[in-house]
Structure formats: C-alpha cells, structure tokens
Amino acid sequence: MSDYLKFAREGDLYQRIDVLRDEMITEIGKLVAIPSLPTYVTEKGMNHGPEIVRCLHAALELSERLGFTVHNENDEYGWAQIGEEGPLVCLFLHLDVVPVGENWTKEPFVLTEEGDFLYGRGVLDNKAPAVSVLYALKTCRDMGVKWPCRVRVWFGTNEETGKVDVQMYIRKYGVPDYSIVPDSQFPLSYSELSNINIDIWNGFDPQETVSDLKLKRIEADQTPNGVPPHAFALISSEKKEKLKEVSEKVGSFAKKTGYDLSAQYCDEGLRIISHGHVSERWNEPWTGVNALSHLVLFLSNVSLGEKPDELIRFVAEKIGDETNGRSLGVEYHSETADLSICLRGVTYDRNGMSFNVFLLFPADYRNEYVFATVQNQTKARGFRIIMNNMGPGFIRDKNDPFLQDLYASYCEVTGNSDPIKVCGGTYAKYIPGSIPFGVIFGPEQDICHAPDEHIRISTELMVWTKIYANAFLRIADHLESYRK
C-alpha cells in the first residue's frame, strides 16, 4: 500500500491548493460566462443547445491545458482523464444550468466576486465543483501521485433536464468501478430517494359535460419545488343565483378551513382563487401550502358535472391536503426517509382532466409497489395513469470501504463528523454504486436553482478542493484493498 496521503499532507498539498485560488476563480468565471441552457431537443431525446456545447468545449479545453487527456462524445458529454489502465474512478459533473428566473440582484452570467462570495448561475450547480475537482486532481498529479487506476472527470450536458447523457454513457461505456457525484451535499449520501411523476387522468369531452355549473378552466402555478403557490378555477353558469351560491360557499369554506380562498366575478363567470406558498425545499412539500389542494378540496363540494366531479372528488378524498399519502394507501416510513406526496398541477382540455402528482419515497419501497397501490385506487374509478417519470433511488452499504474513505477525507479536512445523509436527485441514480459526495455544507439549502446562486471562496471552494484532493490521495493509497 502506498502512502501518498501522508506524504502530501505532511508536504505542501494544501498550500499548493491555496496558491491556485485566483486561477480557479478565473476559470469558474469563464464557464459561468457561457449561458449553458438547453434550447432544443435532439433526436435522442436530449435537451441540448449551442451554449451547452460551447461550455463543454471550454471545460475540455481547460482540462487539456491542465494536462489531462480529453474525450468528446459527439458534444453529448465528454471527459478528462489521468491514467491509462487499472480500475476506473469517475467523477460525474455537469455543465448545463437551470434557467435564470427572477429576482436576481447580480448579473447571472457574469461571475461577480463580492467579499468571500462568488455569484452567478451555475456557480454552485455544477461549474465550480467541476473546476474544483480538476484542480484537486492536477495538484495531486503535480505532487507526483501515480494512481493505480484511471481517474476520469466526466462532464455531462443534460443533468437538469432528464439525465439522458449519463444513461447513454453508462450504456455505451459500462459502469465505472468507483464513482463520485459532486452535486449534492457534504459529507455524502448513502441513499437517494425514488420518485414517481404521474398524471391521473379522467378522459372525457368537457363540452359534453351537463351541469348547471360549468367548469371553464382550472389551473395551478408550476414551481420547481413542486407545491403550487397559486391556483384558480373559472366557473360559469347561465343561472346567476347558482354562481352566487358558489361564491358564498367559497366564503364559508375559507372561513371554516382557514384556507386563503376567494371568489371574484368576471366577464365569464366566477373565478375562485386559491393562494398558498411554495415549500422551503423541493423534497419537503409539507413545508408549503398547496393552493391547488385547497382549491380541489373546495371544488369537491360543488357539482360541476359527472366526469369532472369524479376526478375532483377522488383527488380531494385520496390526496387532498395530505403530504404523507395516507388516504391513497401509500404512506411509508423507513430508516432512510418517509414517503411524501405532492399534488403539483392540473390539466383541463379536450381530453378531459388530469392531475399531476409527484411521489418521493425511500428506495426500499419499490416503484412497482407504489404504482400498484395508486393504480388499484384509480382503476376502480376508471381513471388512467400517464407516467411522466420514474426515478430509481438506491441505498448503498454504509460500511463500503470506498464510501468510508470519502467520509474520512471530509472529516479530516473539515474537522467535522456529521452523519452521512439521504439526498434527492443526482446523476447517482443512474450510476450503480456511485456516491453523491459534496458540495453543499450543512442542511440542504435550495440555493442551487435560486436567484443569486452563490458560493463562498475560502470556506467552500477552497475547502472542497482540499477534500477532493485528500480523497484522491486516499483512493490512490487504498484502491487495491477495496475489493477484498
């Protein structure tokens, strides 16, 4: 067994990293300056765009400058590599970003340095971690480390919109022996949750609906973290007094429940408006107030015709304002997490009505079972389920020596020993055996996709780089013992 880690940390490993601070910031700035957003969908079903390609080129060009050999796979993904033989250790990063959104106080595509902060879209998710990993690796190499393996820094282009890139990569090149995904939290996660995104659909022609009260529209705001903060329904009727009744019901229902529901007359009839608020995090729907749930709970007391009523009442009864799935029969608790459910949206058009539902649950509750339970409830009512997405979660062995080495590096560099975690949706779902490792410290903050996305330089960027360098050395020292 080699002893690179001891040699490096007794030498000037961390000073060498500190010296690279300005160079790393310059390189992060170059990547952030490329607004790598998807603009079209490729034949392979991948969201892509010219700026994403440009950003991939820039990352590969940087890697080459730093002395890595590089590979570009049809501009779909690429990698930088050290070492020609032995087991493959792979770090999965991505260069695409999420849309800017509103409420920025900084320029999203110009890296702004203010005090210890760096601001810019993608700075945290996932461009600075990419630069951090490259410089950590370069530093180790410059100190003379000879890995008994190949180390590959992989750059994806489709992380935010489907993760097709990594699935193609795994299919073509196989599963790396050891994989790290620096796109989550420190210390690391041994498990990711599974998820299902479905539409529960009742097919009918709204124009054929017979009812005194006609549902003309029903809509809810879609937000990245799921809980609709606003929703409304538009109801018309030829009978004025019917609308008045509904309007009064809205008032008494709001009073009774405390929901923020109101009714407003307009040219086409009566608008019922529901307000809530988004959840604090995308995986905690219970911290939000679901405006759509409240609207549906109200509408289930009104008769809007057979077909709309069937679905609205089902959703009110089986989901309603719950986030634990109890009434739907999918409530589940386990060591890793509890199941959560979120009513996310509604579609009402010539096909009828459908509600979008998102379920997030521990990976020991299989997708098939969750689906079957939901299907049993919907089937009995004649509704169908359109599957939009299924996320395969995982639970890794907490005692795996590779995982434990990553954890040891985190603990050594930070001096902390907070427990390992369960996280949400990274590339790790699609890479058997991979470990989400870094980069956010502390409880997950939804700053990745938020306005004024930022990182700190001295307490984040530089610390990450030291943790990764430490981990690379530890891997070099221990790799041969992992398989035993």
Partner 1 sequence: MTALLKETIEKGLYAKIDAYEPEMIDEITKLVAIPSLATSVNAEGLTCGPEITRCLHYALELAERLGFRTHNEDDLFGWAEIGDEGPLVTMFLHMDIVPVGENWTKEPFKVTREGDFLYGRGVLDNKGPAVSILYAIKSCLDLGVRFPYRLRVYFGTTEETGMDDVQVYIKRYGAPDYSFVPDSQFPLSYSEVNTASFQLRKNYDPSKIDSPIRLVDVDYVDHPNGVAMYSGVTLECESESLADETARKAEEFALKNNFSFTVETNGRKVKISAKGRISDHWDDLWTGVPAIGELMLFLDTISVGKEPDEFIHFIADKIGMKWDGSGLGIEDKRESGTLAMGMSGIHLNEFGLSISFFTIFSAELRNEFMFNGIFRKTRPENIDVVVTSMGAGFVRDKNDPFLQTLYKSYCEVTGNSDPIKVCGGTYAKFVPNAIPFGAIFGPEQDICHTPDEHIRVETELMVWTKIYANALLRIGDNCKDW
181-200 residues near partner 1, rule: CB under 8 A: 194
Assess 379 for contact with partner 1 (CB under 8 A).
yes
Residue 195: CB minimum distance to partner 1, A: 9
Task: Identify which of residues 254 and 363 has a Cβ nearer to partner 1 in the complex.
Answer: 363
Q: Which stretch binds partner 1 (CB under 8 A): 28-36, 383-391, 433-441, 455-463?
A: 383-391
Assess 369 for contact with partner 1 (CB under 8 A).
yes
Give the DSSP letter string of 207-266: GG---SEEEEEEEE---TTS--SEEEEEEEES-HHHHHHHHHHHHHHHHHH--EEEEEEE
Task: Identify which of residues 49 and 276 has a Cβ nearer to partner 1 in the complex.
Answer: 49
- State which of residues 184, 293, 300, 377 lies at the interface with partner 1 (CB under 8 A): 377
CA dihedral 70, 79, 396, 446 (to 10 degrees): 140
- State which of residues 25, 41, 175, 411 lies at the interface with partner 1 (CB under 8 A): 41
Q: How far apart are CA 480 and CA 484, in angstroms?
A: 8
Binding track, positions 200-229, relative to partner 1; x by CB under 8 A: -x-x-x------------------------
Is 422 within 8 Å of 192 (Cβ atoms)?
yes
Q: How far apart are CA 221 and CA 402, in angstroms?
A: 43
- 184, β-bridge pairs: 439
Residue 380: CB minimum distance to partner 1, A: 4
Residue 167: CB minimum distance to partner 1, A: 7
Residue 385: CB minimum distance to partner 1, A: 6
Amino acid symbol at 373: T
Binding track, positions 428-447, relative to partner 1; x by CB under 8 A: --x-----------------
287 burial (CB, 10 Å; 0-12 / 13-18 / 19+) is middle
From first CA to last CA, the distance across the chain in angstroms is 13
Task: Identify which of residues 183 and 192 has a Cβ nearer to partner 1 in the complex.
Answer: 192
SS3 175: coil
Q: How far apart are CA 3 and CA 380, in angstroms?
A: 64
User: Tokens 């010539």 identify what position?
Assistant: 350
For residue 167 the two structure tokens come to 């699935």
Residue 387: CB minimum distance to partner 1, A: 4
- State which of residues 10, 43, 85, 335 lies at the interface with partner 1 (CB under 8 A): 43
How many residues make up the chain in this entry?
484
Assess 333 for contact with partner 1 (CB under 8 A).
no
Assess 390 for contact with partner 1 (CB under 8 A).
yes
CA 130 vs CA 79, 182, 356, 443: distances in Å = 11, 8, 34, 21
Helix or strand run (H / E) with residue 181: strand 178-181
Which spans in 232-351 are helix H? 240-257, 291-299, 306-318
Assess 92 for contact with partner 1 (CB under 8 A).
no
Q: How far apart are CA 382 and CA 195, in angstroms?
A: 24
Number of residues that bind partner 1 (CB under 8 A): 39
Q: How far apart are CA 228 and CA 344, in angstroms?
A: 6
- State which of residues 6, 18, 23, 45 lies at the interface with partner 1 (CB under 8 A): 45
Assess 483 for contact with partner 1 (CB under 8 A).
no
- State which of residues 172, 256, 350, 484 lies at the interface with partner 1 (CB under 8 A): 350
Q: Of 272, 296, 276, 295, nearest to 286 (Cα)?
A: 276
146-175 residues near partner 1, rule: CB under 8 A: 162, 164, 167, 171
Task: Identify which of residues 142 and 205 has a Cβ nearer to partner 1 in the complex.
Answer: 205
Q: Which stretch binds partner 1 (CB under 8 A): 41-49, 253-261, 310-318, 455-463?
A: 41-49
Q: Which stretch binds partner 1 (CB under 8 A): 248-256, 295-303, 363-371, 416-424?
A: 363-371
Q: Which stretch binds partner 1 (CB under 8 A): 25-33, 149-157, 364-372, 474-482?
A: 364-372
Amino acid symbol at 218: I
Q: How far apart are CA 342 and CA 225, in angstroms?
A: 10
Assess 3 for contact with partner 1 (CB under 8 A).
no
Assess 389 for contact with partner 1 (CB under 8 A).
yes
Is 477 within 8 Å of 1 (Cβ atoms)?
yes
Task: Identify which of residues 43 and 267 has a Cβ nearer to partner 1 in the complex.
Answer: 43
- State which of residues 271, 384, 449, 456 lies at the interface with partner 1 (CB under 8 A): 384
Assess 176 for contact with partner 1 (CB under 8 A).
no
Q: Of 71, 181, 68, nearest to 130 (Cα)?
A: 181
Residues near partner 1 (CB under 8 A) are 41-46, 162, 164, 167, 171, 194, 201, 203, 205, 350-352, 366-369, 371-373, 375-377, 379-380, 384-392, 430
